[in-house]
Chains A and B, each alone.
Chain A
C-alpha cells in the first residue's frame, strides 16, 4: 500500500490492510484470514488515536466490501461508532478526519454516526466548507430540509477562491454537492425556476470537476449522474420526453461504467444503480410504456436485492427518535396536496404512537392524534389506504381515552373506527384488523357507560371479524375470544339467553381451535367454564354444570400453582362442585365427610382436595341422574 499508509500505519492496521490487499490480488491470503485481522483490529482500544484513521477506515472498508466481506466491514464500522459513544473525547479529531469518517458512514447509510461526526465543524476555510456541504447532504437525507438548505448556502459562501486561483478538487466537490442539495430542495418545494437556475450552475461545476479529474475518475461519474438526475427532474417537470430519455440513458451508461471501475459492491455503484432504477421507473410512468415498466420493475428488484445483500444500514429502520425526526422533516418539506404527504404523516403518527407506548409521554400521543387527523384529511375518500389511516387515528384516540379518561376521545374513536369499517371493501386484506380496532372502541364505550347499543354493535363487529377470518387462520381464535367476551357481557347486561348460548358455542370453538399446550388454551377453558356456569345458574341445566366441572377442572390442572389466576379458577371449580354436590343429595354425606377432614394432610393443597372430591363425585350425568332419583 503506497498512498493510504503513512508513518502511523503500524501493527494491527498494517496487518488488516495488507491482508485485504493480498486477498484482493489472489495472493495466498484467504478471506477468513482477512476477517481474523480485522477482528484483532477491533480489539484495539486506541483505534481512533491516529491521524490518518479516517483514510484507513475508508480504504479498509472499501477493500472488505470488494472482497464480499460485508459483515466484517459493518462490524468494523459499528466498532468505530461505538468508540464515539464510549469515548467522546475520541471525536476531538482533525476536521479532515471527521469528514473522511463521515463520508464512510454516510455512504453506507449510517446517518446518525455521520451527523455526530459533523457536529461542531472545524476551523479552516476548505474544511469548513466541506463540513457544511456534508452537513447539508446528511440533513437532506434525514429530511431536515431547513437545516440542509442553510448548510448548503453556507458551504457555497465558504468557498470563495482568491481571484485568479484555479479551483481545487475539494472546492469543486463542495460546490457540486451543495448546489445539488439546493437544486433538489428547490425541486421538492415546487420552485422549478429556481431549481433550473441551480442546474445551470451545477453544470458548470460538474464540467470543471470532470476537466480536473478526467473522465475515468469515480467522482467524475458521480458528478455526471448528479447532473443527469437534475436534468431528468427538470425535463420531467417540463414534460419533455426526449430529455427525460436522454437523462435516463446517460445514467444507465454511468451505472455500468461506475461498476466497471469500482465493482458492484461499492456504495457509489449502488447509489447510481438506485438512481437508475428510480429514473427508469418514472420514465416508464411518464411514457406509459408497460414494457419499460416491466423492465423497471426487474431493475428495482435487482437494486433492492443488491442493497440488501450488501447489508447496508437502512435509513428508515433507524431508531424511533430518528424516524420521528426524519418524518417530521419530510412532512415539513412536502407541499400540501402532494400524494406523498399523507404517507409521511402516517409514518410520523405511527412513530409518535410508538414513542408514547415506550415513554408514556402524553405529548407524543397528542401529536400523534393531530398528525393522524391530518393524514386522514390528506387522503382521498376513495384511496385504498384511507381505512388504514382512519384506524390508526382511532387507535390513537382510544389510547388517549385510556390515558386521560376523556370521553370525547372515545366518541371520536368510535366515529372514526366506524368510518374505517365503512370504507373497507369485503376483500380487503386488513379488514379484520379494522373491525377489531372498532370493536375494541365499542367495548370500551360499553365498559364506561353501560350503553347496550355500543355492546350490541361490538357483537355485530365481532361476528363480522370471525366470519371474515378462515378457520385455520391464526387470528380466528382471537376473534372468537373477543366475540365470546362481548356476548357474555351482553348476557350479564341484559340476561339475553340467546347471547349466552352463542357465547358458549363461540367459547367451545375457541377451546377446540387452540392446542392443549398453547398458553391461551387454559384461558379459553376458563371463559367457557364461566359461561357454562352462567347457563346452569340461569336454567339449572345439569349438562351445563357437568361440562363446567370438566372444563374448570381442566383449567385448574393447566394453571401453575403460582399463577395469579389460579385462585379464581379454583373458586369457580369450587362453586361448580358445590353446586353439583348440592344437587346430589346422595353425596351430601361425602361432602360432609370432606368438611370433617379439613385437618387432613393434603388440606394445604386445594387442588388435591378438589381432585379427591372429584374422585368421590365423578361428574357423570348418568350418575347425576341416578342421584336425582
Chain B
C-alpha cells in the first residue's frame, strides 16, 4: 500500500491488521509533523486516514494507526519466515518508472547493526537489479517465495549496504528487518499488552506484571540466529496440546457452511446440509 500526505507520496507500508500499517520511519521524513494525518491507499484502491502512533528510531520503523471510523476488513495474514536460499521480491516500487526488486535471500536471519545503532534480526538479501542506489524502496515489504509454499511477507526493507570500493554507490546487498523483529519492537503487538487490551488488569495483576518486568524473560531467544530451528526444538518437547484447538468445532461448522456457499455469498449463509 502507498502512503501520502496532501497527495505527496511518502513511501510504502504494510497492513498488519485492519488498524495498523507498518513502514520505515525514514519514509515519513516528508511529513509536516509526525502527528499529522496521512492518507493510506489500500490494496483495493480505497483511501483511509491514519496517524503515526509509534516510532522506533533505533530500527527505523514506524507504526501507523488507521482512524477508528474507517471501515477496513481484516487482511489475510501473509506474514511468514524466510528460508536461506529462497527467492525474494519487493512488490513496492517508488514510482511507475522504477523497477521491481527481486533476488536471493542469503540468510534467513542474521544480526545486523543498523545505521541508527540498533542491533536487529534481519534478512540479508542480494538484489538482481544492481541499481547502485536503492533509495525510495525502504519500508516496502519483502516477499519470500519458494516451491510448494505460498508467498509470504518475510521482512520490511530497511537499508542498503554500501559498496566498499565506491562509496558513492551501494552494493547489491540489502537488509530487511524480519517480521518477527518488526513485531517485537512495538508494544501494540506485545502479548502482555494484548492481554490487557482484552481484559484490563486488576491492581494485583499490575503489581505482578511490574515484578515480572524487573527480570528478563527466561525463554527469550532474540539473540539466536537459528531462531526457527530453536523454536521448533523448544516445541518438540511439549507434552500438552495447543489450547487453540478447543475452538475447532466452531471453525469446522463454519467451513462446512462456507463450502456449501463456495462463492461466499453477499450475506450470512444459512447453516445446515443433508450430507
Contact = CB atoms under 8 A, between A and B. Distances in A.
A139 to B, nearest CB: 11
Interface in A428-480: none
A292 B73 contact: yes
Interface stretch (B23-31, B112-120, B158-166, B247-255): B247-255
B53 interface: no
A153 interface: no
Contacts of A618: none
Contacts of B194: 224, 228, 250, 253-254
Contacts of A256: 16-17, 77, 79, 179, 183
A170 B86 CA distance: 36
B49 interface: no
Nearest to A284: B268
B168 interface: no
Contacts of B248: 141, 271, 274, 315
The residue in A67, A107, A141, A216 that gathers the most chain B C-beta atoms within 10 A of its C-beta is A216
Nearest to B212: A211
B228 A249 contact: no
Interface in A1-20: 1-4
A225 B254 contact: no
B6 interface: no
Contacts of A102: 241
A55 B240 contact: no
A328 interface: no
Interface in B38-57: none
Nearest to A68: B148
B240 to A, nearest CB: 4
Interface in B121-166: 146-150, 152
B203 interface: no
A226 B246 contact: yes
Contacts of B167: none
Interface string B61-94: 0000000000101111111110111100000000
B8 to A, nearest CB: 28
Interface string B203-232: 001001100100001111110001111011
A261 B273 contact: no
B198 A25 contact: no
B216 to A, nearest CB: 8
A343 interface: yes
B108 interface: yes
A105 to B, nearest CB: 10
* Most chain B CB neighbours (cut-off 10 Å) among A257, A316, A347: A257
B228 A271 contact: no
A285 to B, nearest CB: 5
B212 to A, nearest CB: 4
Given A63-B232, A246-B198, A278-B247, A214 B253 contact: no
Nearest to A21: B229
Given A180-B243, A246-B197, A315-B252, A339 B74 contact: no
A255 B77 contact: yes
B233 A133 contact: no
Contacts of B209: 207, 211
A143 interface: yes
B75 to A, nearest CB: 8
A247 B189 contact: no
Interface residues of A, number: 138
Contacts of A220: 191
Contact of A293 (B77, B212, B267): B267
Contacts of A343: 253, 256, 271-273
B148 A275 contact: no
Contact of B270 (A69, A262, A384): A384
Contact of B16 (A100, A140, A253, A268): A253
B150 A299 contact: no
Nearest to B188: A253
Interface string B154-196: 0000000000000000000000001110111000111110110
A256 B154 CA distance: 11
A219 interface: yes
B147 A263 contact: no
Interface string A535-566: 00000000000000000000000000000000
A102 B239 CA distance: 8
Interface string A284-317: 1100011111111111111010100100000110
B272 A383 contact: yes
A265 B149 contact: yes
Contact of B198 (A247, A277, A298): A247
A514 interface: no
Contacts of B192: 207, 210-211, 215
A257 B189 contact: yes
B264 A226 contact: no
B115 to A, nearest CB: 24
A141 B240 contact: no
A278 B245 contact: no
A143 B250 CA distance: 11
Interface in A51-70: 55-56, 58-59, 62-63, 66-70
B218 A137 contact: no
B35 interface: no
B231 to A, nearest CB: 6
A388 B249 contact: no
Given A216-B222, A274-B248, A134 B240 contact: yes
B97 interface: no
Given A256-B179, A388-B274, A267 B242 contact: yes
Nearest to A220: B191
Contacts of A295: 73-75
A143 B240 contact: no
Contacts of B152: 259, 263-264
A61 B2 CA distance: 39
Given A3-B233, A133-B240, A275 B247 contact: yes
Contacts of B190: 215
B245 A62 contact: no
A250 B19 CA distance: 11
A180 B246 contact: yes
Nearest to A106: B241
Which of B222, B231, B248 has the most A CB atoms < 10 Å from its CB?
B248
Contact of B221 (A216, A247, A299, A304): A216
Given A130-B240, A133-B240, A271-B244, A216 B266 contact: no
Interface in B89-114: 105, 107-108
B42 to A, nearest CB: 11
B199 A203 contact: yes
B186 to A, nearest CB: 10
21 contacts: A24-B228, A27-B84, A66-B228, A67-B83, A99-B239, A100-B238, A133-B241, A134-B239, A137-B243, A177-B240, A180-B246, A207-B209, A221-B191, A224-B194, A228-B198, A260-B179, A293-B267, A297-B265, A302-B76, A343-B272, A385-B272
Closest 6 CB pairs of A and B: A295-B73, A214-B217, A26-B85, A297-B264, A26-B84, A388-B274
Interface of A: 1-4, 21, 24-27, 31, 55-56, 58-59, 62-63, 66-70, 96, 99-100, 102-103, 106-107, 127, 130, 133-134, 137-138, 140-141, 143, 170, 173-174, 176-177, 180-181, 184, 188, 203, 206-207, 210-229, 231, 246-250, 252-257, 259-265, 267-268, 271-278, 280-282, 284-285, 289-302, 304, 306, 309, 315-316, 330, 339-340, 342-343, 346-347, 350, 379, 383-385, 388-389, 391-392
Given A70-B148, A246-B197, 6 more contacts: A25-B108, A58-B238, A170-B239, A173-B239, A218-B231, A292-B73
